Structure 1
Amino acid sequence: MITKTQKILGPALTPLGKAYGTVMGVRSRMYGRGTFSRFDPECPCVSVGNIGSGGSGKTPLAGWLLDWALSQGLAPALLSRGYGASPGKLPYLVKPESPVQEAGDEPLMLAIEHPGAKVVVDPVRIRSASWLSRYYSPGLFILDDGFQHLAMRRDLDLVLLTPEDVGEGWNRVIPCGTWRESVKALHRADVFLIKGPAHEFDDMGDALVRRLERFGKPVFQFALKPASLRRLAGRETRPSLAGPYLLVSGVGDPVQLERTVNSFMGRPAVDHVVFKDHHAFGGDDVSVIRKAAKSAGAKEIVCTPKDAVKLKGLGTDDFWTFNIDLEFERSLFFDGTDPVPFDRWWNLERINLDNRK
């Protein structure tokens, strides 16, 4: 999300953003020309990444792809750089019982929710891919946050955009915005996906055409839909909660999360305690949360699945978190293709070995 400071200092920061974008563009061209070598995995590889930073839904979409691959018998493996992780050795195979301090919050969440897949943390993803190929013979690599990771060849680049990316954040490269590369980088994308409700996607129609038609790639909408609630400890689940509740989050886009939760619960939280993305929760944080709940009159405390893996074990057995589904509804094609949602468009042919780049 673009900060107030970035908006105020935009004219002064724009030259720096252009310079950074130029450097990243040169890097991309050098990989494209073969100046820098690239690792070519033996199995198909799909990158799930973005042009900006945070809040675009990469992790839920990667999880959906893992489930799809498992349903196809592909033995998928997810390669994560492990933001915030401190593993004792590398590569680090994440297991459902792994300590969150070693695995990182998102890799651990994926390992818990998709136990049939291999989730590996290593900032050098060429190394983790080679290690997995040697010992586990995966059928599909999911390259998490991989759009800028050009050292590894991929079959498809799925690029996630936020509504802000298509709006006032368009082509605002750091430090004047959140983009990691300039707009020219989007020519490398094979598919665009935008997280948000179907009606917001419809409202963005003109902007989507204006911004993305030039690339000629399909654009899909998806939304994160809470399906039910579950206790952090035990197996208790509920379709919803009747009383006042407090929301806790440490995610990239807390505003969008709040809208999603409010819609699911049918009413707003009495308070929303916001921590920075990937916050490492501790006992003091739990005390702050409980104090906020008491002050607001909340009977229940609800957190995100990503935060749940860090809060669990800190005396939070009574907290609730969500079971999340992905819902695909809208799409936009620029080649005359009839609109179909992503989950109907996506199939084995998209990752055929004969279609490698």
Structure 2
Amino acid sequence: MQWLEKRWYSDRSAPCWLLPLERLYRYLAERRKQAYLSGKKQSWKAPVPVLVVGNISVGGTGKTPLTLWLVQWLRGQGYSPGIVSRGYGASPPGYPYEVTAASPAPEAGDEPLMMVQRTGCPLVIDPDRPAAVRYLLQHHACDLIISDDGLQHYALGRDIEIAVIDGERGLGNGRCMPAGPLREPETRLHSVDLVIQNGGDPGRFAPYRFNLVPESLHAPDRSKSMPLADLAGGRIHAVAGIGHPQRFFNTLRTAGLEVIEHAFPDHHPFTMSDLAFGDRLPVVMTEKDAVKVSSGAYDNVWFLEVEALPDPAFSDALATKLNCIAK
């Protein structure tokens, strides 16, 4: 799969034998979407606003950091948001499953657990998104729902759609799976409310942009912290099991570190052997990966906390959309 993903993002060609499969995928995806739009399948509308954050491409786009920013921004606007998620890679004992800061990572999934630990926001995972929303509304005083990675989950009605694009890789070769990285054709972006890119040249792929700003380093259990600058000029092992690990490695290099790269598959279940490099160099992970690591079992392991900083124009546009819903 990794060789195919590299090809998706390296040029516009695709193996000819994948093109018929792409046509079939596009047909089925469009047919499924139209079934909801035409009313043949029912889309459930929540009694509170639903804000969807997602992407149309496979691989990391920075959607989770933007969701973390959204939670804090919405609170600043007077909302009490809750989050629903598919919980990719999670194995809960049942659904709906409410994630808490103490939930085991294998049950909760890495991204939902990280979001709860960072924000304290109520979060429920369930492949049935409407069921997750109903549970949230029954058990928490939420007046707005964020559907994480929910752009293609049409069973849940939505008031605002936000699509996130990787500002470095864009949409790759522009083809749908399996000939390219797209879950839906590029034209899908014309129907969403807001499109924002993570880094890259301003305006290259979207009218709005956000940057990921490195903050500080923390032990996996947050028992200790230190500024990233304390490691500047030094050599480290950088570990990332995310959709686009190169972005993480580049961030560390920009901060003045000499990086030894260790890329793992997205959502990799880390073990002690994965972080045993036979030396005493610091190990720096992503925050998403660190929730799967027990602090007591690892020495000199840190995760880098990053913050998403969107353009002020994006905040203004989102506020305008929310005001229209309120009216």
Shorter-chain TM-score above 0.5 = yes
Would the aligned equivalents of 1:49 and 1:145 in 2 still touch at CA under 8 Å? Answer: yes
Overall identity of the aligned pairs, in %: 32
Alignment-derived partner of residue 248 in structure 1: 239
Alignment-derived partner of residue 238 in structure 1: 227
Would the aligned equivalents of 1:286 and 1:314 in 2 still touch at CA under 8 Å? Answer: no
SS of equivalent to 2:258: coil
Alignment-derived partner of residue 23 in structure 2: 18
Would the aligned equivalents of 2:114 and 2:291 in 1 still touch at CA under 8 Å? Answer: yes
Alignment-derived partner of residue 3 in structure 1: 5
Summarize the Cα distance change of 1:69–1:245 in structure 2 as closer, same or farther, 3 Å threshold: same
Q: Distance in 2 between matches of 1:73 and 1:354?
A: 15
What pairs with 1:1-357 in structure 2 (closer than 5 Å)?
A: 3=5, 9-115=14-120, 117-163=121-167, 166=170, 168-170=172-174, 172-196=175-199, 200-202=200-202, 205=204, 208=205, 219-233=207-221, 234-240=223-229, 241-242=231-232, 243-263=234-254, 265-269=255-259, 271-287=260-276, 290-291=277-278, 294=279, 299-313=281-295, 315-329=297-311, 341-347=313-319, 349-352=320-323, 354=325
Summarize the Cα distance change of 1:321–1:164 in structure 2 as closer, same or farther, 3 Å threshold: closer
Tell me how far 1:4 sits from its aligned partner: 5.2
Would you say how many aligned residue pairs link Structure 1 and Structure 2? 319
Would the aligned equivalents of 2:172 and 2:181 in 1 still touch at CA under 8 Å? Answer: no
SS of equivalent to 2:284: strand
Which residue identity does 1:343 align to in structure 2?
Answer: S
Gap runs ≥5 in structure 2: none
Moved more, 66-75 or 47-56: 66-75
Would the aligned equivalents of 1:76 and 1:138 in 2 still touch at CA under 8 Å? Answer: yes
String of CA shifts for 1:232-261, please: whole Å, max 9, x gaps: 241332242143211011010011221122
Tell me how far 1:56 sits from its aligned partner: 0.5
Would the aligned equivalents of 2:275 and 2:283 in 1 still touch at CA under 8 Å? Answer: no
Which residue identity does 1:53 align to in structure 2?
Answer: V
Which residue identity does 2:298 align to in structure 1?
Answer: T
Q: Distance in 1 between matches of 2:307 and 2:169?
A: 24
Tell me how far 1:78 sits from its aligned partner: 0.6
SS of equivalent to 1:311: coil
Tell me how far 1:352 sits from its aligned partner: 4.0
String of CA shifts for 1:9-52, please: whole Å, max 9, x gaps: 43331232122112211211221111110110011110001111
TM-score (normalizing by structure 1): 0.83
SS of equivalent to 2:212: strand
